[in-house]
Structure 1
Amino acid sequence: MMKALLINLFCNLLLLQSCNPEKQKMTQENFPYMVTVSAPEEYPIEVHQGYLSNGLKDLICGVPKAGMEQAGWHGDGSKAGQGSNVIPSHLYLTYVAYAEKKFYTVDADLPKDKILQLFRQGFLVQDNSKQTIVDGQEHYEMVPGTYDTFTIGAAPGGIIVIWLSGNHHRTEVCRLQAKEVFVDKNDFMGFTDTTESQQQFFDELYKITVPDSIKAEITKSGIPFGLWDKYREKFNYRFVLNPYDEEDNFTHNYYLYFNGEADELFAKDLEKNEYLSRGIPYNCTYIMKKYSTEIFFNDKEMLEVFNNLKSKHPDKPIDIIITPTFMYNDMKVSVKCEDEIIPLTKYQVKGVWGG
């Protein structure tokens, strides 16, 4: 009798655990994801061959060959049917960098434990099916979510950055270094063309794939090698709303950073008004009580201002201050550290909506 009761109790405990989504998420080993490849818009690349493998070097899935990739350093590339639910331990990838007229190869281990930890940690997302109205404001129940895309970014100089992304969240996994390698252009194209040399192949694809404005910049100043590593530097800052009526506040913001990461903050997090360590902002959507706005930042200006303040005010946090003009017709942006305030001039306000 006692044995039967113990068995029944054990089974009930297992059933309770299986019904607890938080418990499941923290112990789950397999997370489905799609694999994509991206590159800066101005510096397109194309995959020659590649794959993800496990610790035994067994194939997990291929890296998609979806033509020219230039989704932007902050964007995911084309989903071309490659993915898995097994955590990868190794990446092999060979690709052509059209602006550099080179092939690169990266053959490196991945931080499997970190990838698994990020999948397990995930983030909270709002459940749009569970909405309530409090004091005229919409409120949603928050439920656990996690990443669903594994993106390999390739920037000039053989810089490789891996991100996990999903539902307005994007987190860097690691940075790798690819090496220049020789690949016969006939192997890359899949057929033999004896009328075109290797250099002619590079020159012709350079003309076709690289934007004219970037060709002019490369001719004038060369390719800005190292820029994408500068993007990866993080600063301790927050966004501050400075409304003229002193009653408005942020309610739900989306942030996209030049380092390729992204996140969103809901009212509870925004109320904390915390400083967070992150890359310089690229594109941010600010949602307030009645209005919303979208602002694009300039990378050169932000790097200059942030590095200047970091040098003059070591270890001090920074405020990016968003100030609506009268009737919310526009937004003014400045950066403040201690008693120093620097108005920004190169940002772009895409629009202001609501009212």
Structure 2
Amino acid sequence: MEEKFKWTGTLSAPNEYPMQAYYGELIADDYQFPFSDIWGIVGGGWGEPGKHGGGTDTPVKVPHTLEFTWYSLVENKFYAGHWELDTKKITQLFNEGFSQTYFDSVKKGTYETFVIGLGPKGKLVLWLYGDGHQVEVGSFQGKEINITKDEAYDKFKYVFEPQYREDIISDPGIVKPIVTEKIKEDGYPDPQLYEIFREKLNWSPKVILPAGSTLEKRNFYLANGERESTLQDNSAVTLPYKKRAVPYLFYFQWKNKEGKKQSSQVVFTGNPNYIKDASKVYNGTFLPLDFEKTDMYKIFGGLNKDLPTDIIIDISSGTKAEVSMEQNGKKYPIKQMDQYVIQNK
């Protein structure tokens, strides 16, 4: 008997490249999850899980096929594709799940949402998301296609009206002013970035806490849309080396020697007001708009991809983190970041 799970779907797109679903389906033997224009304009940040669209009350099989057609407003182009999915990998991820907190207790959680990332130049990525964890399960290339107003189904014809595209791109409620300003200054991001962000390095995070402290939780967000959230056991402060993409955000929570909780967030950006400005774009976890210009991104890209590498976050002072990368005995300080520490929670 094939295994079944409860799951739903959602959409994602870069802040700078708003997208619109034309037609799509995640197809399982016993269920199809649909996408269409009713999802509206998609943005919010690459890899950011958007609103959920329904789902199943009863478990169903994992999807084996993804079909999708979407409209890239900035490019004024349609892309489409039909792809077979790795059902073995998806099933394994559903079964393995992960540890999660629930009112200070630890329980097993699992993935529940397929996140479809719609990118420029026909880039499409599929992730599985669940409670702070997100892992890539497929990367695909769509083909540019032509759809005219006469050919489009009735509920999509409004997209071809004069000024529709320009009105959407210039709408501050859709493309936030901080994003529009960045585009005016630097232009649109190179579409190839969303593939480059998938490059991985064999690294592990190493946390140095204040004396007598115990690490409780660690989250990190990666530029390829993946996320890891781990709880501590046996007061270990390192994770096994693993091929991971370049990180843009770390969050740590620990108990100090007095037993009080503290937390620290570090974001790799040249914007010293990133955390303060984050609410203007999303909720504080979006990929920094200048990330490809940061020393974290540049140093990461220049290292040997196979050698074990430590990303060291030293918050032993309890007030400010110092970050560096270390590979093959050589240390690389990371200077461009914004951060905060919350004490005595």
Identify which range, 231-240 or 74-83, moves more after superposition: 74-83
Partner of 2:124: 160
Partner of 2:77: 102
1:117 aligns with 2:89: no
Distance 2:227 2:326 in 1: 23
Greater relative contact order (Cα < 8 A, sep 6+)? 2
Matches within 5 A, 1:264-279: 264-268=229-233, 271=236, 273=238, 274-279=240-245
Matches within 5 A, 1:10-89: 29-54=3-28, 60-63=32-35, 65-82=38-55, 85-89=60-64
Partner of 1:135: none
1:322 aligns with 2:313: yes
Deviation, structure 1 residue 39: 0.7
Partner of 2:273: none
Deviation, structure 1 residue 254: 1.2
Distance 1:347 1:89 in 2: 41
Partner of 1:286: 252
Distance 1:147 1:267 in 2: 20
Give me the identity figure in percent.
Answer: 27
Distance 2:19 2:44 in 1: 10
Contact 1:161/1:174 (8 A) holds in 2:
yes
- Indicate the SS of the match to 2:14: coil
Contact 1:253/1:286 (8 A) holds in 2:
yes
1:301-349 deviations in Å (ceiling 9; x for gaps): 3221112232xxx6322222222364x2222212222332222122110
Deviation, structure 1 residue 172: 0.7
- Indicate the SS of the match to 1:41: coil
Partner of 1:334: 324
CA separation of 1:269/1:170 partners in 2, compared to 1, >3 Å: closer, same or farther? farther
- What letter corresponds to residue 143 of structure 1 in structure 2? K
Deviation, structure 1 residue 54: 3.1
Deviation, structure 1 residue 155: 1.3
Contact 1:239/1:322 (8 A) holds in 2:
yes
CA separation of 1:192/1:174 partners in 2, compared to 1, >3 Å: closer, same or farther? closer
| Between structures 1 and 2, the one with greater helix share | 1
- Indicate the SS of the match to 1:118: helix
Structure 1 portions without partners, runs of 5+: 1-26, 132-139
Structure 2 portions without partners, runs of 5+: 257-261, 270-290
Partner of 2:335: 345
Contact 1:42/1:211 (8 A) holds in 2:
no
Contact 1:124/1:144 (8 A) holds in 2:
yes
1:222-242 deviations in Å (ceiling 9; x for gaps): 541110111111111122223
Distance 2:111 2:264 in 1: 26
Distance 1:194 1:119 in 2: 37
Bigger Rg, structure 1 or 2: 1
Identify which range, 40-49 or 118-127, moves more after superposition: 118-127
CA separation of 1:48/1:219 partners in 2, compared to 1, >3 Å: closer, same or farther? farther
CA separation of 1:330/1:272 partners in 2, compared to 1, >3 Å: closer, same or farther? closer
Specify which of 207, 224, 227 is matched with residue 170 of structure 2.
Answer: 207
- Indicate the SS of the match to 1:157: helix
Deviation, structure 1 residue 38: 0.8
Matches within 5 A, 1:288-303: 288-290=254-256, 291-298=262-269, 299-300=291-292, 301=294, 302-303=296-297
Contact 1:185/1:201 (8 A) holds in 2:
no
Deviation, structure 1 residue 215: 7.3
Distance 1:30 1:126 in 2: 24
Identify which range, 184-193 or 91-100, moves more after superposition: 184-193
Q: CA RMSD in A?
A: 2.9
Distance 1:195 1:225 in 2: 24
